[in-house]
Every structure is written in structure tokens, then in C-alpha cells.
Amino acid sequence: MRNTHPLQWEQVQTALAQNRLAHALVLVGPLHLGLVDFARALTQAMICPHQSACSDCVDCQMIARNEHPDVLWVKPDKAAGAIKIDQIRALSSFVFLTPKRAKKKVIWIEAAERMNTAAANALLKMLEEPPLHTHFILIAEQIGTLVPTVLSRAQVLRFNEQEHLLDVQFEALSAHYSDSERGLVLQNAQTLLRDLLLLLNNTLHPCKLAAQWSAYELSALLWFLYLVFAKVQKMQFLGTQAQGLGASQLLDLSKLLDRLSVFKILETFTTVLSTLQQNRQVNAVLVLEGLFFDLTEARCSSTRIAI
């Protein structure tokens, strides 16, 4: 998290160190930015007996496996479903118990924008009289969809790095993410972009490419791909040119795909990412195959370019 979201991480670390972290935090941003991972790392920092998200101690490991008795995870039962009042009411017994292992208890509410009104009101009651030792971390894609009264009781952390990342060249990003899975993907950006062009040109089969790319960590790969197509979209709309590493391949992509296709592709990513968010145990090859078939379908059929 220090690498991925340094500003937000710094902000919560400072608040933690000064013992003034808000009882309710709302993390707002697109799913591919790893907000659940941020919530998990923050919970580790709050609960870890070494007072750092050391990731080695029993508590940190239990949190990583979603098995810590003092951490509760609330999310919609079904992929497109709502968070219901029963789910929030069920929290009240957890909230007023003393923590079992740690000094604090943490409740994550994922897809918080999908709380129905009754659920949001029930939560509001808890936030109005914040239970001792208990922190709430709400995760939402967009702030406008959250109930204002809930927001007024919480501190909001925004994750909008995508906007400025679009203007950052791959080599600069690669240096920034040097020792992470994203860094590994970025180091191979040119090869990946070439593969993508071959796929869209129908010279590389989706299944073959999925097998090749399964060597990378799935969420890092999806983050990179989203960034690529968001860059392409920006080039198409603003008529700007990419600079640096991979610039010519990005240009080829913007020629190969029409605006509607890029729009569809970005929508597909959003769907895939929200599916992943619901289910962390996925078969990476299958996810990639599905995605690549969708990409080849989204491509406008008439254009071919020489690579």
C-alpha cells in the first residue's frame, strides 16, 4: 500500500499514529485500484501487535485470510444485490462485544453504495453513537451514491489516481512500482502491448494468450490493461499522442479500435473487476480467456493493421 497509494497510506498512518483515525472511513474509487486491499492493509496496521502491517504475525495473517475474529466483512449476498437491513442489524451483536484478540474491531462494508435505505439508516444509528473499539471502513465506487447522513459521520478518502496516471509514461510508472507485481507487468509493457495487438488482429488466439499471460498476477495485469485502454480512450477523445515506451503500440490500438469498442472494452473490465471483487478465488486463465474473447468481439471488424 505504501507503493500503491502512498498519499492515502500516509494520511491514515499519520492519523493512526496520533490516535485520531476516524471511527468511520469511506474509501471511494474505482474497483481496480485495490480498495479492498487497502482496507485489509489498513486493518492490519490497526490490529497488528507490532503496530505496522507486518504481514508476518498471526493477526496480520488472519486478516489476510479474512479469518480474524475481530474483523467482519459485510457485502451484498448476490453480485448485483443490495446490502439489506438484516445484515447491518446483525452487526450490533458484534459491535458491542469486547474484541477477542486485538484492541480494536473493524467492520468493512464493501459496495457500500448498495445499502438500501433501511440498511443505511440502521448503520447511521451505529455511527451516531460509535461503539468503543470499533472502526468502520466503507468501500464505494462513487461518493454520490452514498447516503449523505452516513457520509457526514465519516471521513472520506478518495482514490482517483487513474486520472493523473493516464498522463504518466510507462517507464515512470515502472520505476514507481519497481518491486511489485504491477512493476513486473510494466517492465514488460511493450511485449504485452504487442501481444494485445496480435490478439486484436486475430493472429494470436485468446486461449494461447491467456495461457502466456497467466504467468503474471491477475489483478496487476487487469490494472495495466485498464490503464492501456483508458489511455487509448483519452487519445481518441482529445486527439493527443502517447509519449515514451509503448507510444507507437498505443497509437496502433487507437487506430485499430473505434471509440465505441474502447468504451465497451472498458465496461467489460469494470464487470470483470467487480466479479473478482466478489470472488477472490478465481481461475486466472479462465478470466483472461473470457476477457480476450470479449476484446476480439468488441473490435471493429473491418480494420486491420500491419504490426
Q: How far is the CB of 116 from Zn ion (least distance, A)?
A: 36
Task: Select 89 or 104, whichever has its Cβ closest to Zn ion.
Answer: 104
- Position 71 contacts Zn ion (CB under 5 A): no
Q: Among 162, 78, 92, 166, which residue's Cα sits nearest to residue 134?
A: 92
Least Å distance between CB 64 and Zn ion? 10
- The answer to whether the CB of 265 falls within 8 A of the CB of 229 is yes
Instruction: Give the binding-site size for Zn ion (rule: CB under 5 A).
Output: 4
The contact mask relative to Zn ion for 29-48 (x = CB under 5 A, - = no) is -------------------x
Q: Which of residues 152-181 bind Zn ion (CB under 5 A)?
A: none
State the residue number with the nearest CB to Zn ion: 48
**Segment holding 74, helix H or strand E:** strand 71-74
Cα-flanking dihedrals φ and ψ of residue 27, to 5°? -95, 120
45 to 64, contacts with Zn ion by CB under 5 A? 48, 54, 57, 60
Which residue shows C-alpha cell 473487476?
A: 273
Q: CA of 39: how far to CAs of 9, 25, 223, in Å?
A: 10, 10, 18
When the beta carbons of 58 and 300 are compared against Zn ion, the nearer one is 58
Residue 197 CB, nearest approach to Zn ion (Å): 44
State which residue, 54 or 82, has the beta carbon closest to Zn ion: 54
Q: Can you tell me the distance from the alpha carbon of 165 to that of 157, in angstroms, rounded to the nearest whole number?
A: 18
Given a contact cutoff of 8 angstroms between Cβ atoms, the answer to whether 85 and 122 are in contact is yes
- Under the rule (CB under 5 A), what is the footprint of Zn ion? 48, 54, 57, 60
